[in-house]
Each structure stands twice: as structure tokens, then as C-alpha cells.
Structure 1
């Protein structure tokens, strides 16, 4: 990709993605249906030019590689400037009357690189409801390549940027992802294409209706799913095997948390992930920023504890805060030890909480208790690199404490 292409994408998405996530999206359901990697065909209903930007923002949050491609009418490639922008943003030209070999080759490249192909089965923008008749291109591509088809219903996009409008308007957008469509793989390809088309229409009718009619219960469920996805994103970032830049994972997690809190402001797990992100930013910040974030972290962690005194991550963060903060700013190692002990009890057998508790015991002078915890960490299994590193640190710390408390190390008076 050329430098100018990167500039076009960067300038566009720097505006569109935050606007979609923080201004227009009122709810997103079914994110567990979107895999983090691997190719598939995404089939949304189509009611606005802004549909592209909504899907781009969501794929950026939910996929390891944010790049996706979409079929669009050949007329979009006539004007040189528009052709350049559409191509760089992932547009693939299609002659709706006579699709040719070039189109098939382009689609094959999309799947080969493990990307998402967005195809609007209505073929053109409709009113939002009812759905227009479907074309079968998306399903022929999927059947030919053997990739999943995932339907997604959207509502409200037609109010943000109605057909013929040039400036977005303030309106709420809701998105509902459906499960990958299942049809009999033994069917001949033409019948499989027809079955996929029928299943997609049935799914989209239901998904759009769901997006049009939100409920508080579904919002709470979707909020929890978003919070869980945000927490998993943080864990992936900290795994030490993640090929994605940490800054990208932080952005993904923060945006997922923002959506989760919008759908359920009282979601404790979303509040805990937000506090955890604050702690991670604090660790990497300069001194003035660290002092500012230190106060913010305490407020956020305390809010989690107030909502749920037994919250695992809330106790861990609160304990860490009291343990590490200077006394003049409110740090109290003894108070932190209580939170870390509770986290170790709740979080067993995860050794990160045992390690934090052991460090708290050392800081408060209970070396014998710390050695007991460290022995448990050393004896625990290590299923991943991060846990193995923690075991190594625990072993080194245990060896040091053992040496410090051996009879030979006792000074002679």
C-alpha cells in the first residue's frame, strides 16, 4: 500500500470510526458471531451510503485485521477521485448486469487473504423497511469458495444519512449480527445458493426487526457480551504472543467498553475493564499523566468495588492501587493487602492474583506468608508464556527470600 493510500484511509477513518462508535451507535448485538480472523461474506440490509462506515467501524473493533472489501456499482469508479477513494477503501466494482471474470478474481483474492467481503443482497439502497428483493451474488461467492455467510441487520442508518443527503444527521443506529447461515452442504451448488439466499432473507427480516425494537433485557445481555469481548481483547494484548500493536488493542478494548456502557451504564465488568485500561495507560505515561491517571484509577476501581464488593478485577486493581500509590496520595499497603487477599481467594487458580498477593505480603513485611504463596505459584501449571514468566519471577523471588531467611544469612551481633 502506498503512502498516499495510507493517508486516504487514515484521514477517512480518523473521522468516521470515532463518529460511528461514540456518536451514532446506540447498540450492537451478536458480536460473538463475528470471528476475529478468517474469511466470510457479510450480508447486511442496505439503506444508506453510511452503511459502509458502520461496518468498517465494527470490523475494526471485532477483527484482528480491520480491512474489508465491499461490492459497489461500477458507476462509482467513473470519476477519477471517487474511483481512487473507493478503491483504497476496499470497493470492488461490479457490473450488475454482466459481472465478469475480473470480479471473480477480486473476490477470490479477498478470501485468500482471509478478509471479509461485504455484499448487500438487495443490490441497491432501499428505504430500510421492507427489504427489497435479493440478488444471489453474495451466496454464489460463498458457495463457490466454501466460506460462511453472516447476516447483519441495521436500523437507523437511513435516518443518519438518507438517500440523497450529503450531511449526516443525528440519529441512533442499532446493529444486530446473526449466526452464520447453515444449509445442507451436500446440496448441488445451485440449490445451495438458493437455500442460502432464502435463509439470508429470513434471517435479515428477523434481525432488522430486532434492531428496530430494542429491549432493556437484550441491551444488558449485549452489554455483557461487549464487556467480555473487551476483557478478552486486553488479555490477548498482554499474552506476549499477540502480533497486533498494543495501541490497536487498547483502542479496540476502549471502544468496546464505551459501547457496553452505553447499552448498560451499570455494567460492572465494563467499568472494571475501563479501570484496567486506565491502569495500563498509567504504567506507560509520563509523570504528570501518571499522577492524573492514578487518581482516576482509584475512582474507577472504587466504583467497581462499590457496585460489587466481590468483583475479582475490582479487588485486584484496588489492592494494586493501595499497594503502589504513595502514602501522601492515599496509598495504604495494609489496606491493599486485604483486597489482594480477597482477589487471590476469588481468582484461584489464576497465579496473577496469587503473585499480587505475595508481593503485598512482602511489602507489608510478612515474608513467611509470601513464601507460601510463591511456592504455590512455582508448583502451578503454566499453560502459556505469560504464566511461565510469572513462575520464573516467583521462583527467583522465592530463592531470594529463602536466602535472606536462611541461618547462614543471620548477622552475628
Structure 2
């Protein structure tokens, strides 16, 4: 009950301050497993998405967000886990990606909504980068539909490196569910995985209007 009340209050506060526009929310199933795959412009994308939707959306997050010490650390852990729907996973090292994938699979098998950013990291410059194949593996392993979404304007609210959010409007757009059931059992075929991931990214690009760059965002960040 406390989680519901706090989420309702924060959702109202967000709507008053940022006046978000939501398009296509009817495409999100009211229940059952679903993958929400979208672009990633800023840290607050996941929080805003969670506050906009009635369904609880679960995301993978760095475990450091819930391992803080003292009262502040415990409050942050409760907030990210209960309001933001974050599931902490140690993503460092060679097994980090596998742990994240298996966590998403478990969430979907429990009939819940799982949010994923196929780019794998925040965009370094506002453009949309090549998607990784984790989203393809998840939909083919679980049969869950993929609902593409785009956050537009959140980078104006909290630009990279900024502290407190700025007051500005943003838009959340949701596309029609994508069904990849025809590829069932082909989650080890790298050509199929690439094709599915590219189709998801194409829909995200259409919704967001971003310029597409066919390289991984992580490579751009490493070069910088």
C-alpha cells in the first residue's frame, strides 16, 4: 500500500511538473509477460516510464544502487526496487550479460513486464545506436511479445552530466506489439537474432525520430 501511494504521488508530481504526453499506451497488454524495448537517453528514463504506466515494469540496474550504507542507502534501495521496479544485477565481468538475460527470462516467466534498452547503454549524443541481441534472445526464449517504445525529450530534462532535473516536457510513445513466435527455438541462430534485434530497433527509430547509427554505443564511448 505504501508503494502504491508513493508511486501515485510521484506520478501526479511528474505530470504537473513535466506535463508528459503519452501516445499508444493502449498497445501495452494489461497482464501477462511483455518486453518493453526502448531508447535510452538519460538516467531518469526508467523512473519516468514506471510512473507513467499502471503496470509495474521491471528493469535491470547496477547493484550499487541498492547496496548503499546507512539510512540514505536503505531509502535508495527501497525506492529503486519498489517504485522504479529495478532488479539489481552485477553486470561487470564476463558473466554479467548472462545474469541480466536470465533475470529477464525469470521475470517474463512469472508473467510480468520487463523493460530493456537494446542499445545496452545510454546514448552518448542523442542518436540511436545498434541494438544488441539480448532482446531477441528473450522474446524467443519466452514467447513474450515486444512492445517498442521511445522516450522523446527526456535528455532536455536531465542532460548527461547534469545534476538536478530541469523542467521540460517529454513524450512517451508506444508501438504495436511485435510477435516473433515464428522464430521459436532459434535463439542460437545469430542471423535470426540479428534480424529480430534490427527489426526492434527499426520500430524504436520510427517512434523516436532519432538518427540511427549502425555501431554499438559502447564503442563510441570507449573511443571518446
Shared fold by TM > 0.5? yes
* DSSP-derived class of the 2:53 partner: helix
1:184·1:192 contact (CA, 8 Å) conserved in 2? no
1:139·1:149 contact (CA, 8 Å) conserved in 2? no
The answer to whether the aligner puts 1:73 opposite 2:62 as a matched pair is: yes
Aligned mates of 2:24, 2:111 — CA distance in 1: 21
1:70·1:117 contact (CA, 8 Å) conserved in 2? yes
Q: Could you give the per-residue CA deviations for residues 149-174 of structure 1, whole angstroms, max 9, x where no partner exists?
A: 11101111111122233322111101
2:23·2:172 contact (CA, 8 Å) conserved in 1? yes
Aligned match of 1:114: 111
Higher helix share: 1
Question: What aligned pairs does 1:8-407 form with structure 2 within 5 A after superposition?
Answer: 9-10=3-4, 12-60=6-54, 66-80=55-69, 81=73, 82-88=76-82, 89-94=84-89, 95=91, 97=93, 98-99=95-96, 103-127=100-124, 129-183=126-180, 185-186=182-183, 188-189=186-187, 190=189, 191-209=191-209
Larger C-alpha radius of gyration, 1 or 2? 1
Alpha-carbon distance, 1:202 to partner: 0.8
Q: Which has the higher contact order (CA 8 A, sep 6+)?
A: 2
TM (norm. structure 1) is: 0.43
Q: Could you give the per-residue CA deviations for residues 247-301 of structure 1, whole angstroms, max 9, x where no partner exists?
A: xxxxxxxxxxxxxxxxxxxxxxxxxxxxxxxxxxxxxxxxxxxxxxxxxxxxxxx
1:93·1:103 contact (CA, 8 Å) conserved in 2? no
2:140·2:183 contact (CA, 8 Å) conserved in 1? no
Q: 1:84 to 1:31 in 2, by over 3 A?
A: closer
1:43·1:138 contact (CA, 8 Å) conserved in 2? yes
TM (norm. structure 2) is: 0.76
Q: 1:112 to 1:125 in 2, by over 3 A?
A: same
1:161·1:169 contact (CA, 8 Å) conserved in 2? yes
Higher strand share: 2
Question: What 5-or-longer segments of structure 1 have no aligned partner?
Answer: 1-5, 61-65, 211-413
Aligned residues: 199
